[in-house]
Structure 1
């Protein structure tokens, strides 16, 4: 039995016979400090990962009733890293009770965060990746923190994931982007390996400039229009999971955000049409795109 201990988020995390999980998790973090430290048996691990009999199992004594599900064991490195990814978000939420964690994507436009609350099947991650391809930095594709006092968006520094196989409607240029930025993956999911200027590091704060409700439909002409503040408020509150026991604080904080944000609804079919409308509305001309950087490198 080989134990590798790492310090992650200031806590000891043990990887028993599965150092590859530590390396895999470190590969999806941006702006975090992950370092290997000596294993001290007298100090219990905050989280323990173990590879045994073809299964990646994990245990976190501080979490009650949320260890690996016996009906869906993790049998691949990607599944094990995804397990840690999900629990890491809960870990962040537990450590930062003053911050909300919201299920949404967010991209930086002209120094401000534009929020895309996660409405089912509206393509927030796909749109976010098209925005990154166009040169706009990503705060997060699935979860972004919000400071309840300052009303700023805070990047978690986690690489985005895209579902596989890629949709056949994606244009060749976007497929090429995904291939060139392929990170850890399996048959169902692919992490998108983003570098400096493409993703915002953990802990960076941005003022919130807009809340955009996505409405993706087939065969529709793309448009962007004002959205009722009440709709934006409901979308954010419904997708908050970091703080739940303070309804008054939740309502007041998110109301202040939408009152000072540009609330819109984006109706679109093709993500590239959505990118063009968002750039015009919030960012003017897109910064130097990934494609142009790649072509001139």
Structure 2
């Protein structure tokens, strides 16, 4: 069956089933949209939502599972509309957007019937968009982002808003490596994204070894700092990740400019980092790193 036929079959299923579950909703098969409504009493609202996401989801499933998937998605869209209405009560939603750096696949593992608004970030992480609502951060979905008009060109970028929020972070020296942290602030992980300002060593020489054990903590050292420094960093990342309420990643990475690769760490106690050959100490490399450290201290 071709992709075009598949789309048509899914669209027909949505058009047939949606009014049974949600009387009053309108499916436009030509525009591939559905209009859904929500509200209480005299306060009634509606939104037109694209069907691309649910069509793609159904194409990945056997046809006998489509009905359940379509119903769950439609009900989730209505719930998103109710959330969008509520979020306006807390002020301008656009300026309350924030982004968090999370392990790759976090959204796929934890999201519901409606996809999260996110930006892939390399092979190991993803940037997921949230909205600050009261004291909480509520994950923003693609559907609600559209309902709230947050995709318009003049709306502030959630990434930029977040980087401004953490721009005052300063590294603290800890047992031969550096730590960026702020209690109960899950936006600190985005320091990896703003590495030019918050991790400038990442673009110098061989870069840095870095770990993001918690959303509120980033730890790093010079990539060529040597085996002992790397092992201490790995131990800190493992200890900090363990039982943390805001776990991010237990792994260690080599960050050099825009290149990030995972560095193997043994499960021994204490853990040992298996440094790539390029990071093993040499007299010349040690001298160059010492020179850069002196320049940064000025």
TM-score, reference length from structure 1: 0.29
The structure showing larger relative contact order (alpha-carbon pairs under 8 Å, at least 6 residues apart) is 1
TM-score, reference length from structure 2: 0.29
Q: Which has the higher strand share?
A: 1
Q: Which has the higher helix share?
A: 2
